[in-house]
Structure 1
């Protein structure tokens, strides 16, 4: 899908192909067809990277200058709060004209909520200008805010899981409490999902940090990086550093909770095995008594004794109760 955005009183307005492409503030290519790519290339005189080129991991293939345009490719998290988060490459092509104008082209093959939020935000707080740097930095700011919100949601859910996993009290109290102890298998699954999201956010933060550093270093005259844009870019680099530290903290917390949950699962499994072992030990003496009186010998005094049967039952009951009381005294049960 190809969408042209023009600036109308500081707001980005989607429009059909205008008569003059230089008057376009932003061109968004979302899973474009070959015809749409050729249209943009002919209109702006740019070489649109292919999908395979966008996936190259070499820095020289992701951050470079081509025909006076700055080409920046970064991996961003798509559907971060959904059931299937992914990391997909997104390319920004900036071509300033040196007179406060120019155009920004974005190329992506995934749905990014940040782009729609940026357009909505422009309607509430109009842009000061429609030059490519303002639009690019506005999108970048929205992307960073979305990553921060994602990490915040992960942190809140981890706090909730921590309270549920390490809730104090005995099992009966936990079972009747308003917030019962979580099923550890479900908790383990949620921790795995959070680990996936945190690792993908870290990938995006690292890519954005490299991209911001590259743009800050490219101060050639033909790029026309305004001083205010450079100041915003430096502020973004500080934000990215803070988010990276926060991501590392959450990653360590996820690892701790994963180890703790696996440990609790082992504790519960050991408790079950302990119960079976105790039950087996309790029934071993009665089984021994029953085996003795089940032997076929001609002379056994208790066989002709009127109280032999009740005596055998009482002996088996006592043989079972005494080990049970001993285990309770030792607090093994």
Structure 2
């Protein structure tokens, strides 16, 4: 689907949207400021290329990870690909590549998903029309929205990790119910795994944006507007702070994961300890019972009237003495 945006009375306005265009019905190039390609077909890519006389990257080219394939110059156009997180609030985070083709007069965005920054961007343009009057300003605002979204996801992750910490270290009710506590710890491990996946995508997104912004500043230094330069510097500062915060949260995820596994190991060791002590307590009575279970004719106690009570008493004492000793040592 192609969406064309242009200026009308100083405001960026959607001109038209369609899933396909005959070449004759494309808007005039002078009216277009931004072209947004969402899951474009081959014909739509060719139509935009013929309109702007530039090359639109394919989906396979966007997925390449080397920097030379993500950031390069095509004549007077900058081709820049960034990783954007999608679906984080729905519980199934995913990475998606978004390519921006920037020229002094036009901006083209190519994407195969609809992340939140793009869904809310049109409303943002209406609230601040003065910040979206040129191709570089639109791209700077889009980048700012992507960074803000990354910051929001980081805040959600931080809040979730705080809740996990409370459940691990402060919820005494779970400790009084071993079976429920074990199930809860397993749920927390899965929860931490999902958050770790989110952080991995955010880390990749912040890294790609940290490379994209300086490349944009350098490649557009001759015609970049002053306010856009200032906004890009602010975005760079935000990215540095997000990178530091992301590292802190990643370390916290590792710590909580290790703590959860430690608590599970402690619970399992407690169970093994019970079985071990039970085996030790019942071993001496078993030896006594085994000895007096032999029917040798020369056994002195074989025909003794008090032999059976004596054997029972001996087995009881042989179990009670180790139990008392364990209690004295503090092992029980």
Q: TM-score, length-normalised on structure 1?
A: 0.88
Q: Which runs of 5 or more residues in structure 2 are unaligned?
A: 18-24
Alignment of 1:72-151 (within 5 A): 72-96=80-104, 102-151=105-154
User: Distance in 2 between the 1:151 and 1:243 partners?
Assistant: 8
Would you say the 8 A contact 2:5–2:32 is kept in 1? yes
- 1:22 matched residue in structure 2: 30
User: Distance in 1 between the 2:109 and 2:99 partners?
Assistant: 6
**1:127–1:261 CA distance, 2 compared to 1 (3 A):** same
Would you say the 8 A contact 2:5–2:12 is kept in 1? no
Alignment of 1:278-317 (within 5 A): 278-317=277-316
- 1:6 matched residue in structure 2: 6
Would you say the 8 A contact 2:164–2:188 is kept in 1? yes
1:186 aligns with 2:194: no
- 1:99 matched residue in structure 2: none
User: Distance in 2 between the 1:108 and 1:54 partners?
Assistant: 9
SS of 1:71's equivalent in the other structure is strand
User: Distance in 2 between the 1:266 and 1:218 partners?
Assistant: 55
Q: Which runs of 5 or more residues in structure 1 are unaligned?
A: 97-101
1:83, CA displacement in angstroms?
4.1
**1:182–1:24 CA distance, 2 compared to 1 (3 A):** farther
**1:220–1:250 CA distance, 2 compared to 1 (3 A):** closer
1:164, CA displacement in angstroms?
1.6
1:195, CA displacement in angstroms?
1.7
1:128, CA displacement in angstroms?
4.1
- 1:204 matched residue in structure 2: 205
- 2:62 matched residue in structure 1: 54
- 1:214 matched residue in structure 2: 215
User: Distance in 2 between the 1:48 and 1:173 partners?
Assistant: 56
User: Distance in 2 between the 1:186 and 1:168 partners?
Assistant: 15
Would you say the 8 A contact 2:206–2:239 is kept in 1? yes
User: Distance in 1 between the 2:75 and 2:135 partners?
Assistant: 16
User: Distance in 2 between the 1:187 and 1:198 partners?
Assistant: 16
Would you say the 8 A contact 2:3–2:14 is kept in 1? no
1:181, CA displacement in angstroms?
8.0
**1:58–1:134 CA distance, 2 compared to 1 (3 A):** same
User: Distance in 1 between the 2:228 and 2:266 partners?
Assistant: 56
Aligned length: 323
Q: TM-score, length-normalised on structure 2?
A: 0.88
User: Distance in 1 between the 2:262 and 2:251 partners?
Assistant: 16
- 1:268 matched residue in structure 2: 267
1:3, CA displacement in angstroms?
1.9
Pairwise CA RMSD: 2.5
User: Distance in 1 between the 2:227 and 2:245 partners?
Assistant: 27
- 2:21 matched residue in structure 1: none
1:248 aligns with 2:247: yes
Would you say the 8 A contact 1:165–1:181 is kept in 2? no
1:193, CA displacement in angstroms?
1.8
